[in-house]
Amino acid sequence: MQQQCTLIIGSQYGDEGKGKFTDILADDYDYIVRFQGGDNAGHSIVINGVKYKLRLIPSGIFKKNKKVVIGHGVVCNPETLINEIDYLHANGFDVRNRLFVSNRSHIITEYHIAIDKYYEDLKGDQKVGTTLCGIGPCYADKIQRVGIRTSDLLDKGVLRNKIKLSLQTKIHILPHIGYSLKDVERLTNKYYALGQKIKPYISNTIDLLNDAYQNKKRILFEGAQGTFLDIDMGTYPYVTSSSTVAGVSSGSGISITKIDSVLSIVKAYTSRVGEGPFVAEIFSKDADYIRERGAEYGTVTKRPRRIGWLDLVMLKYAVNVVGTTHIALTLLDVLSGLKQIKVCVAYKYNNKVIHEILPSNKEYAKCKPIYKTFKGWKEEITNVTKFNDLPTNAKTYINFLSKSLNLPITYISVGNDRVKTIKR
């Protein structure tokens, strides 16, 4: 039976390769939707050997005739949005009548970015490792009910009042970030002008998507970041500022009961950007090898990512809270050439074997990985198109993961390009 609504979600710390599978699956869907996060989430797509990068617009935009939606759960930096629209047009991708931005999406302003940096500096050695894109402060304004939404950009009087109120609630820190209430008029003029530029794309996306569903259109939801960066279920406070797991309904307006398939993206090893506990992290030559082969540097930040072995404790937690129905295993080709490959199957904590993610980062950081070791393979696999043609040791590794998670691995990525994918 063909699935009408599918969620693609990362199962680790982000950077699992969600963009590639959004690109692959988008062929069979009518709408591709972002429902949380902001321009801190980098997506890289390789098409015919050319790499394209986006931070805000759903990567389904690269598919002609497909409609893409930025839902109200996304915090939208209008400057990034305009830059990406221009970037897409310059590369031959027309977004007119294809891009829809929720009229309820909260906007990131320049002072949110300044606040982000200010608070991160205040944390000293307890820094989270934020991308400094203003995501957290924008979500904070949303929760404090002093946020500015895309629809507000279209009414100058409303916009002025909301900017003034937002700055007034921050009066105690304005001098520290170089702002004052004198900036109200300048900011009003700036964001009203930006609003006029994005006006053609602002839409009631809740009705748009629900009407599409009623008309039997197929909808693909493109998650950003990963399960362990979820504000509630991740390694708090070393997380993003939104729900990467449950945000699909609250951030799009499509009921959770309409989601009938969940594809969890699992990287064949683990990587992480920023601070926080990382039980299976490694610092050996193997880590350097994986980082270079996998180009493990942040799409947005360019920071080298921390590298570790695959962690089954994490993955079992992730597939449970997400409701995974099938898995895509990515970057398997990066492991080619390693003599041994390890998988963390449990933790040792206080001389006991445990299989859970401890809520206290202090205690979680004390966990030691318990590994199962597999033989590696020397063969390059980027041109392999069938599962049975993979090296025996690679098949053993994949089958072990599938059995351990009790889920089918239906896709195996063996290269950056969309065609470098084995479908089982």
Which residues form the catalytic set? 15, 43
Question: Tokens at residue 280, please?
Answer: 């299976």
Interatomic CA distance for residues 154 and 47, integer angstroms: 36
Interatomic CA distance for residues 342 and 346, integer angstroms: 12
Strand positions, DSSP E, 223-325: 261-267, 270-272, 306-308, 310-311
R_g (Cα) of the chain, nearest Å:
22
Residues 6+ apart with CB under 8 A from 260: 3, 4, 5, 6
Nearest to 38 by CA among 126, 132, 120: 132
**Quick one: which H or E segment has residue 419?**
none
Helices 78-90, 184-198: axis angle to 10 degrees equals 40
Neighbours of 356 (CB within 10 A): 13
Residues 6+ apart with CB under 8 A from 352: none
Residues 6+ apart with CB under 8 A from 215: none
The 3-state DSSP composition of the chain as helix, strand, coil percent (nearest 5) reads: 40, 20, 40
Q: Is the peptide bond before 304 cis (omega within 30 degrees of 0)?
A: no
How many separate helices (H) and strands (E) can be counted in the chain? 13, 18
Interatomic CA distance for residues 256 and 304, integer angstroms: 36
